[in-house]
Amino acid sequence: MIVGFLKSLVRIFSFMGKEIRELIRRPGAILSLVLGPFLVMLIFGIGYKGVRDPFATELVIPANAGLPRDAAFYQNLTEGRLQITHIGQDVAAAERRLQDRSIAFLVIAPDNPAATLKSGQQAVVRAEWNQVDPVGDGLARVAVDALVNRLNSEIIKQAAKVGLGSVPIDGKQISPELIAQPARADTKNVASTSPSVIDFFGPAVFALVLQHLAITLTALSMVRERLGGQMDLFRVSPVNSMELLIGKYVAYAIFSGAISAIVAALLVRVLNVPLLGGVLPFVGIVALLTFASLGVGLLISLIADSQRQAVQLSMLVLLASVFFSGFVLPVEEFRTGVRYVAYALPVTHGIELLQDSMLRGWVRNVWMLWALAGIGVGLFLVSLMRLRRIIHSAG
């Protein structure tokens, strides 16, 4: 019995030694496992600013409002939540700029607030924004509250100077309540859909799952064939690198497309996420995202020296995508250098394009479609060159 136990220990230590030697002989796998997550966290820590940029805001002040037109005056009232970019008088033009998201926030001052106050009524400050992000919607409401509170304080100061709370104005006694709160906000979110956690994050999760699916499907494909010696067969066969690579793309694109169709149907039919932009733009965005993601996976499969390393690199891409793609934190909250890292990921473009198409009905940043196509074509060409080198060096 003791002899059998000792033999078992010998076999255990033999397998243990084999695995350790395999790891030592593949330093790339160790580096990707240790340094990869560290670099992701380092870039995230350096690049994340920790605060959201203030809303780009246009202020509309009617001609007879009797209010100052100095942007610095209103900037001081917003406590860093709003960035006054323009002060005008044309409400219709400002609302068009809000709809096309040239601005993020619109404040329309009341018409002749002094006369309104003298009549014993509150002045109404209109505030509008265009947010499908529930977090952004909440921040906009906080900004409105801060603005109105500061504006009320300024009005109260002016009222105290002329004694509006102690003497009748035009035969009317101004109530203490009106003096305490002379202005109120009339708020409106003009987005095509109401902010909802499921609606907003549904397209983001779909884009992230689609990218990871395509990458994991393809990341192991070439590794298996390289380690299994099939590259020697490809070298002497009539098939060329282009045909082999296109075959891989088409096969995995069909499979990814089928899975994507099922997930998209569940997203729209079961979770009731709107599809305002229609089916064709949605399919086009998904096709471009799949094309670019397959390129990432195939490139990983061509540079990884083992299946273990291919899996590790795939997980690193997933980790980077969660941190930098806008899935959790908006890309705008990162410093400029880190944004380039974010825009190198296909899912960054996929998330914004799908959210725009599904929740707003149109795509504002059309350049992201070209970016996805460019990433896909670039990765295809790099993978093709790498595959040709591997096949020619086989044997």
The residue out of 140, 162, 189 marking a domain boundary is 189
pLDDT in tens, 325-341: 988 888 888 888 888 98
Same domain, 231 and 360: yes
Residue 270 contacts residue 198 (beta carbons within 8 Å): no
Q: State the total domains in the chain.
A: 2
What residues contact residue 162 under an 8 Å CB cut-off, 6+ apart? none
The residue out of 189, 219, 247 marking a domain boundary is 189
Same domain, 282 and 174: no
Residue 292 confidence (pLDDT): 96
Average pLDDT (375-385) is 93
Strands 55-60, 105-108: pairing kind: parallel
Return the CATH number at 165. Answer: 3.40.1710.10
Residue 156 confidence (pLDDT): 63
Residue 217 confidence (pLDDT): 83
- Asked if the model's pLDDT at residue 145 lies above 70, the reply is yes
- Asked if the model's pLDDT at residue 357 lies above 90, the reply is yes
Residue 167 confidence (pLDDT): 47
- Asked if the model's pLDDT at residue 291 lies above 90, the reply is yes
Residue 186 C-alpha from the chain's centroid: 29
Average pLDDT (375-388) is 91
Answer yes or no: pTM beyond 0.95. Answer: no
Provide the H-helix boundaries in the chain: 2-24, 27-47, 71-77, 91-99, 113-118, 134-162, 176-180, 197-219, 221-227, 230-236, 241-265, 279-303, 307-324, 336-343, 346-355, 367-393
Same domain, 284 and 315: yes
Q: Where in the sequence is the domain holding 311, given as residue range(s)? A: 196-393
Q: Give the span between the Cα atoms of 287 and 14, in whole angstroms.
A: 48
The residue out of 189, 204, 238 marking a domain boundary is 189
- Asked if the model's pLDDT at residue 197 lies above 80, the reply is yes
Cα→Cα distances 266→72, 202, 203, 287, Å: 50, 10, 12, 18
- Asked if the model's pLDDT at residue 169 lies above 60, the reply is no
Average pLDDT (303-313) is 82
Same domain, 135 and 242: no
Residue 366 confidence (pLDDT): 93
Same domain, 166 and 299: no
Same domain, 160 and 204: no
